[in-house]
Chain A
Amino acid sequence: MSDIVISAKGVGKKFVIGHRVETNGLFVDAMVNATRRFFSKGKAALKGGPGVTGDVFEEFWALRDVNFEIKRGELVSIVGHNGAGKSTLLKILSRITEPTTGRIEINGRVTSLLEVGTGFHPELSGRENVFLNGAILGMTRAEVRRRFDEIVAFAGVEKFIDTPVKRYSIGMYARLAFAVAAHLEAEILVIDEVLAVGDSEFQERCLNRMSDMASTGRTVLFVSHNLAAVTALTKRAMVLNAGSLTFDGPVQAALTHYTAGIGKVTNRANWGRGQDATLLAADLIDEQGKPTGRYVPGTPLRLRVAVETSGLPGMCVELVFRDELGLPIGFYSAGIFNQVALPQRAGRFECVITLESQFLAAGQYSVDVETANTNVSTDHSVGNAVQFMVETCSPGSIAFNFRQALGTGALAMTAAGPIEFKPLSDQAG
Chain B
Amino acid sequence: MSSSDQTPTARLVLEAGRADRQYWHDIWRYRELFFILAWRDVAVRYKQTVVGFAWAFVRPFMTMVVFTVVFGHIARLSSGDVTPYALMVYGGLLPWTLFSSVFGDASASVMSNANLISKVYFPRMIVPMSTVVVALIDFGVSLIILVGLMVWYRFLPGWQILLLPVFVVLALLASIGPALWAAAIVVKYRDFRFVVPFMLQFGLYASPVGFSSAIVPSEWRLLYNLNPMVGIIDGFRWCIVGGDSPIYLPGFALSLFVIAVMLWIGVGSFRRIERAFADLM
Cβ contact of B13, chosen from A1, A91, A103, A141, cutoff 8 A = A103
The number of chain B residues touching the other chain, given as a range, is 35 or more
Taking a contact as CB atoms under 8 Å apart, the answer to whether A118 and B115 are in contact is: yes
Taking a contact as CB atoms under 8 Å apart, the answer to whether B36 and A92 are in contact is: no
Q: What chain B residues lie within 8 Å of A45 (beta carbons)?
A: 189
Q: Does A257 contact B (CB under 8 A)?
A: no
Q: What chain B residues lie within 8 Å of A94 (beta carbons)?
A: 120-121
Taking a contact as CB atoms under 8 Å apart, the answer to whether B36 and A118 are in contact is: no
Count of chain A residues with a beta carbon within 8 Å of a chain B beta carbon: 45
Cβ contact of A138, chosen from B1, B12, B40, B280, cutoff 8 A = B1
Q: What chain A residues lie within 8 Å of B52 (beta carbons)?
A: none
Q: Does A69 contact B (CB under 8 A)?
A: no
Cβ contact of A96, chosen from B36, B121, B189, cutoff 8 A = B121
User: Among the listed stretches B3-11, B87-95, B259-267, which one makes contact with chain A, having 4 or more residues with CB under 8 Å of it?
Assistant: B3-11
Taking a contact as CB atoms under 8 Å apart, the answer to whether B120 and A119 are in contact is: yes
Interface set, chain A 125-172, CB cutoff 8 A to B: 128, 131-132, 135-143
Cβ contact of A143, chosen from B2, B14, B118, cutoff 8 A = B2
1/0 contact trace for B2-29 toward A, CB 8 Å? 1100100111111111100000000000
Q: Does A107 contact B (CB under 8 A)?
A: yes
User: Among the listed stretches A109-117, A354-362, A420-428, which one makes contact with chain B, having 4 or more residues with CB under 8 Å of it?
Assistant: A109-117
Taking a contact as CB atoms under 8 Å apart, the answer to whether B279 and A103 are in contact is: no
Q: What 6 A-B pairs come out closest when comparing CB atoms?
A: A95-B121, A135-B36, A104-B14, A97-B278, A106-B12, A96-B278
Shortest distance between the CB of A425 and any CB in chain B (Å) = 64
Cβ contact of A109, chosen from B10, B47, B115, B118, cutoff 8 A = B10
- The CA of A131 and the CA of B115, in the complex, are separated in Å by 18
Taking a contact as CB atoms under 8 Å apart, the answer to whether A1 and B278 are in contact is: no
Taking a contact as CB atoms under 8 Å apart, the answer to whether A119 and B116 are in contact is: yes
Taking a contact as CB atoms under 8 Å apart, the answer to whether A135 and B279 are in contact is: no
Taking a contact as CB atoms under 8 Å apart, the answer to whether A1 and B116 are in contact is: no
Taking a contact as CB atoms under 8 Å apart, the answer to whether A131 and B16 are in contact is: no
Q: Does A212 contact B (CB under 8 A)?
A: no
Q: Does B188 contact A (CB under 8 A)?
A: yes
- The CA of A143 and the CA of B14, in the complex, are separated in Å by 28
Q: Does B44 contact A (CB under 8 A)?
A: yes
- The CA of A135 and the CA of B36, in the complex, are separated in Å by 7
Taking a contact as CB atoms under 8 Å apart, the answer to whether A92 and B14 are in contact is: yes
Q: Does A328 contact B (CB under 8 A)?
A: no
Q: What chain B residues lie within 8 Å of A112 (beta carbons)?
A: 119-121
Q: What chain B residues lie within 8 Å of A248 (beta carbons)?
A: none
Residue of B nearest to A93 (CB): B14
Shortest distance between the CB of A429 and any CB in chain B (Å) = 70
